[in-house]
Amino acid sequence: MASVAPELLTRSTEDYLKAIYRLAPGPEPASTNDIAGRLGLSAPSVSGMIKRLSDQGLIEHAPYHGVVLTDAGRRAALRVVRRHRLIEAYLVGKLGYSWDTVHDEAERLEHAVSDLLVERMARALGHPQFDPHGDPIPAPDGTIDEARYTPLTEVPDGDTVEIRRVDTSQGDRLRYLEHRGLVPGASIRVLEHHPFGGPVIVAVGDRQHSIGTELARQILCNPVAA
């Protein structure tokens, strides 16, 4: 069956496509259980929606192997991702929101704003490449630069890196990181990884901080040129 025109996609459909993209941006499939967990839904309800998305030509589904987006599904997902991330950037850059408060606002607005309004937001911001959390913003043509960064947990002791992306939308975590200067663009030095799943000790300027393993995995970095 031919895929549905983007303007006819329901909010639920857009939420599913965005969730699948976030779970599986590449060729690897996303499992039904992972999709259910991300959306806070039951696996049986997700299974029913997966069949509808498959019938619409938006995903490919192999039983017991998970789902992947078709080209049409990926374009539709990235359209939503672009809206969401540009709205976050606009709320922070033009309306004075803090980076820990924009996710929920963008979740509501991403389904309501027109493409025309989104493009005017992009123009007003100077066509940013990243949102306030360092997530790449897809281009209008649906292309996206999904650069590979290194989680803080995998940075060797003694290395200096730049934070490029913080992969969480949880406000309490974002406030915690911001208070310690651990934000995109910050240069940090890794001092020590405690063994057995212990924290990562980092230095930001002359201050040291202990970052738990789970949170450290969400801090994505690039090496700083010597």
Write out the two tokens for 102.
Answer: 């924009």
| pLDDT tens digits, one per residue of 110-154 | 999 999 999 999 999 999 999 999 999 999 998 998 889 999 999
Distance, in Å, from the CA atom of 194 to the CA atom of 26, rounded to the nearest integer, reads 32
Same domain, 96 and 207: no
The H or E element containing residue 211 is strand 207-211
Cβ(113)–Cβ(122) below 8 Å = no
| pLDDT tens digits, one per residue of 46-99 | 999 999 999 999 999 887 789 999 999 999 999 999 999 999 999 999 999 999
Cβ(203)–Cβ(189) below 8 Å = yes
Same domain, 119 and 200: no
| Single pTM value for the model | 0.89
Q: In terms of residue numbers, what domain contains 202? A: 150-223
Count up the domains in the chain and report the number. 2
Same domain, 91 and 170: no
Cβ(65)–Cβ(50) below 8 Å = no
* Per-residue H/E/C for 105-163: HHHHHCCCCCHHHHHHHHHHCCCCCECCCCCECCCCCCCCCCCCCEEHHHCCCCCEEEE
Same domain, 95 and 168: no
